[in-house]
Homo-oligomer: A and B are copies of this chain.
Amino acid sequence: MKSAILSVGTELLFGQIVNTNAVYLSQQLNLLGIDVMYHYTVGDNPRRLSELLDHIYQDCDLIIATGGLGPTQDDLTKETVAEAFDDRLVLHQPSMDALEKRFAGRKIPMTENNRKQAWLPSKAEVLPNQCGTAPGFALEKDGRIIICLPGPPKEMKDMFQKAVKPYLEARSESVIYYKMLRAFGIGESALETALLDLIDGQTDPTIATYAKEGECSVRVASKRATREEAKAAVEEMTEKVKERVGKYIYSCDNEELCQVVARKLMEKGVSVASAESCTGGLFAGALTDIPGISAVFDRGLVTYSNRAKVEELGVRPETLERFGAVSRETAGEMAEGLARISGCQVCVAVTGVAGPDGGTPEKPVGLAYVAVHYKGKTQCRETTFRNQDRTWNRRHCVLLMLDTINKVLEEE
């Protein structure tokens, strides 16, 4: 099946919002084994939309459209699509009932234009909206399918998972199963090299590597007649991948490193504190983004100045003098000082040169040290990947801190 993603909305053409719907739908369709040939964005203009539909179906059998289903005057997708499929809009009573119930429950009057949302093409399969007001629908004619979804990402994703995915799976002869393995500490080219014979030698499962801001992923996917067959093939291949690069892989379920570490800390009830220099609070910020983390995260100190390192963490002025603020020794004393004052079980510290200024031949931009104090021992690691970019370096340091905690928790 060949598909195109059609986004309707003038705000996209003004550059007011980023088209994350197209990204999500592309990923999901590819995972279902459906090729995505085009993305199109068009304003709320019936003539242009209608011409575009004709053009797209020259190449594709499936269009997934988002946006333009709402209650306002400029929402015209439904009318235009119905016309292109020789259909007309009729009142869909279950949708009207759902709308009335929703407004009654919220005790707000339903304005007349909201009723428009319950008018849908007569031959459509209606997709209920469990997160908002506008229902979606699927329409099929002469081997051409269009699926219209609401524009707000939350509503669109919910409808895709609950209604569109089963609809498309039912129309496919095969089933796709995949795993997304996530790795830290290895570059994409090294990862690809380590897996090259597996990548080249395989048609199913397929193996693909991806790079994203200092992390890598490996996608292992299989398309078979049944889900069980596909799953078995993926799991067998996943084991082979893990034999080669297992020590870099921190999740086989596409979890973020921060989520993995937070989950382990919360499950084990291990208390944690941080002392940051170059990352300036980003580690604490990332960890405290996880709901429930307050059960284990006690405090974070951003000791940006040397004075703060001495006063807050008890780093010795001699250490700063002799080895410098960016040194293995300072990182170690930061972690140990933090353990003394906080009493937390895992104490992590970082000090580095984020850039763009402040680098020297001995201590270049991107150099950083991460120390972890756990169970009476302090371990220290140095960055191996370095960059001139301040934002990249800071982000990379946060990942290195998380990875180091992950490793000491695993070692037990």
A-side residues, CB < 8 A to B, are 7, 12-20, 22-28, 30, 36-43, 48, 51, 55, 58-59, 210, 274, 276, 279-285, 287-289, 291-292, 294, 297-305, 307-308, 311-312, 341-342, 355-357, 390-391, 394
Closest to A23 in B: B15
Nearest 10 pairs of A and B residues by beta carbon: A280-B288, A15-B26, A281-B284, A281-B281, A300-B302, A15-B27, A299-B308, A39-B41, A281-B285, A282-B285
20 contacts between A and B (CB under 8 A): A12-B22, A12-B26, A12-B39, A13-B26, A15-B26, A19-B23, A37-B43, A38-B40, A274-B302, A280-B289, A281-B282, A281-B302, A288-B304, A294-B305, A297-B304, A299-B302, A299-B304, A299-B305, A301-B312, A312-B312
In this complex, which of A20, A281, A357, A394 has the most chain B Cβ atoms within 10 angstroms of its Cβ?
A281
Name 11 extra pairs, CB < 8 A, besides A289-B390, A308-B342.
A14-B36, A37-B48, A38-B41, A39-B40, A280-B285, A282-B285, A284-B285, A285-B285, A289-B391, A292-B357, A300-B301
Bound-complex Cα distance A19 to B5 (A): 13
Q: A390 to chain B: which residues have CB within 8 Å?
A: 289, 291
The one of B13, B23, B48, B298 that contacts A59, using a Cβ cutoff of 8 Å = B48
Known A12-B26, A30-B14, A289-B394; judge A305-B298 contact (CB<8 A).
yes
Closest to A356 in B: B291
Q: A26 to chain B: which residues have CB within 8 Å?
A: 12-15
Whether the Cβ atoms of A13 and B37 lie closer than 8 Å is: yes
Whether the Cβ atoms of B301 and A301 lie closer than 8 Å is: yes
Bound-complex Cα distance A306 to B229 (A): 53
> Chain B's nearest CB lies how many Å from the CB of A63?
14
The one of B24, B298, B311 that contacts A308, using a Cβ cutoff of 8 Å = B298
In this complex, which of A13, A311, A390 has the most chain B Cβ atoms within 10 angstroms of its Cβ?
A13
Bound-complex Cα distance A294 to B19 (A): 36
Whether the Cβ atoms of B303 and A307 lie closer than 8 Å is: no
> Chain B's nearest CB lies how many Å from the CB of A284?
3
Q: A281 to chain B: which residues have CB within 8 Å?
A: 276, 280-285, 288, 300, 302
